[in-house]
Amino acid sequence: MYERFYKFTGIPFQLTPDRRFFFSSSGHARAIAHLVYGLSQQEGFIVITGEVGAGKTTLVEQLWSQLDRNTYVTSRIVTTQVSGDDLLRLVLANFGLETGGMDKAALLRRFESLAREQLALGRRCVVVVDEVQNLSLAALEELRMLSNITVDGRASVQTILLGQPQFRQTLARPDTEQLRQRVLASYHLGPLTGSETRSYIEHRLRTVGWKDDPHWQDTAFDAVYGLTDGIPRRINTLCSRVMLLGALEETHVIDADMVETTAAELREDLSAGMSAPASVPAAAASGTPNDVQYLLRRIQAVEAGVTRQDRLFRRVIDLLSTHTDPQQ
């Protein structure tokens, strides 16, 4: 809806990873460098960790866009709540191999044949595992055993592991030492800085044809950073709602108040039905006279929210009626 109001060519803050919107922050550039270095070693494991929504998946999509796709054949795993045997079958199936009715020995022999065929064609097999922190130790061991297979003295496969920070604790365990010894490159992807958050927002807007409409005030960028801690997916979620609010209110200026109001509404949406929001003071929970001012502020906020929702609802109805075919 808001992309039509602001005459964008697309949706700038979609949550689905899309390399068109890749933003090369200092952290993302270093992560790409670690990935390229790791792949150049032609063996072992490459580990990239980061908070939820930090941009790990988009990072790999950007990497593939830079590489010669004729040099690599890939198996991408995004479902990691599986057993060790099931993970092995998923890996091989995503390489295009039939796995039905085969025992493990037959599966491994079939994979070795595939690796040999690909090496003869000048291609290398790469496995990419997303959400690796969810894998069991048995599944991790299957990946390690797969990396043991060699063809004419060369490693048959390289593996890129993408996961949340807790995976580093898994790697530090004594029972994963053999896997840890095979990690040739590792990088933790941190959040964007304040200035990078602003550049990130502007970059995504410009990608869809933004020409400073709506105009974002400096304080609005600062508010987004403060409310999202520089995590790209959080930025996308908040900015998408801010832009929707801007379109519904037909404003061409985004300020800090709009950002903070939208963030508060998002929190309310997510906490709906919860018994006691964490932000409610102890006095408010007990109903003592000390929370009178707090309750008054809450009542005013609720009244303002109702007024805003009514205004936005009417605007949505107007927009829908505008785009309704009168012949239908």
Going by C-beta distance under 8 Å and a sequence separation of 6 or more, which residues neighbour residue 103? none
Write down the pLDDT at residue 93: 92
Q: How far apart are CA 221 and CA 279, in angstroms?
A: 24
Neighbour-count burial of 259, counting CB atoms closer than 10 A to its CB (0-12 exposed, 13-18 middle, 19+ buried): buried
Nearest to 258 by CA among 232, 223, 229: 223
> Which residues does the chain have with pLDDT short of 50?
273-290, 294, 326, 328
CA distances (Å), 301 to each of 248, 297, 306, in order? 20, 6, 9
Write down the pLDDT at residue 235: 97
CA atoms within 13 A on the CB side of 303: 6
231: left (phi over 0), alpha (psi -120 to 50) or beta: beta
Q: How far apart are CA 92 and CA 80, in angstroms?
A: 14
Q: How far apart are CA 261 and CA 249, in angstroms?
A: 13
Write down the pLDDT at residue 102: 86
Write down the pLDDT at residue 299: 54
What residue has token string 């803050």? Answer: 13
CA atoms within 13 A on the CB side of 20: 15
Write down the pLDDT at residue 287: 44
298-322, pLDDT tens digit by residue?
A: 555 555 555 556 656 666 666 566 5
List, as one string, the DSSP characters of 235-304.
Answer: HHHHHHHHHHHHHHTT-SEE-HHHHHHHHHHHHHHHHTT-SS-TTS-HHHHHT-GGGHHHHHHHHHHHHH
Can you tell me whether residue 320 is helix, strand or coil?
A: helix
Q: Is the peptide bond before 214 cis (omega within 30 degrees of 0)?
A: yes
Q: How far apart are CA 73 and CA 56, in angstroms?
A: 20
Amino acid at position 153, single letter: G
Write down the pLDDT at residue 18: 87
315: left (phi over 0), alpha (psi -120 to 50) or beta: alpha
